[in-house]
Amino acid sequence: MQLIATQTFILSSTEVNSALEGYILMIAAIIMKPIKLTFIFMFLALQVNAQYPFEKYDSLTYRQFNNWKKYDWTEKKKIIHQTLSIRSFYKNHDSLTIQLTSFTDKWDSSYIRIYRNKQQEQLLFEPMAFTEYNLWSSLIVADFNGDSLQDLKLNAAYMGNGLASMNARVIYLFQTKDEKFKKVSFMDKLEYGNRMERDFNRDGNYEIITMTLNGYQGHNYWTFDLFNYENGKLVNVDDKFDYPIMVQFLFKRNYKVTDKISGSRMKEFKLKELKDLDVK
Residue ranges in contact with Ca ion by CB under 5 A: 143, 145, 147, 149, 151, 199, 201, 203, 205
What are the Cα distances from residue 205, in Å, to 72, 144, 197, 210, 211? 38, 6, 9, 16, 19
Residue among 217, 241, 279 at smallest CA distance from 53? 241
Residue 200: CB minimum distance to Ca ion, A: 5
Residue 141: CB minimum distance to Ca ion, A: 10
Residue 195: CB minimum distance to Ca ion, A: 16
Residue 55 dihedral angles phi and psi, to the nearest 5°: -75, -5
Smaller CB distance to Ca ion: residue 188 or 207?
207
Smaller CB distance to Ca ion: residue 226 or 261?
226
**Strands 96-103 and 79-86, bridge-based pairing:** antiparallel
Smaller CB distance to Ca ion: residue 219 or 270?
270
Smaller CB distance to Ca ion: residue 230 or 268?
230
Smaller CB distance to Ca ion: residue 55 or 199?
199
Residue 97: CB minimum distance to Ca ion, A: 19
The helix (run of H) or strand (run of E) holding residue 226 is strand 219-230
- Spacing of C-alpha 132 from chain mean position: 13
Residue 205: CB minimum distance to Ca ion, A: 4
Q: Count other C-beta atoms under 10 Å from residue 196's C-beta.
A: 16
C-alpha–C-alpha distance, residues 30 and 247, integer Å: 42
Strand partners, 154: 171
Residue 224: CB minimum distance to Ca ion, A: 15
C-alpha–C-alpha distance, residues 142 and 145, integer Å: 9
Residue among 220, 215, 202, 208 at smallest CA distance from 184? 208
Smaller CB distance to Ca ion: residue 155 or 205?
205
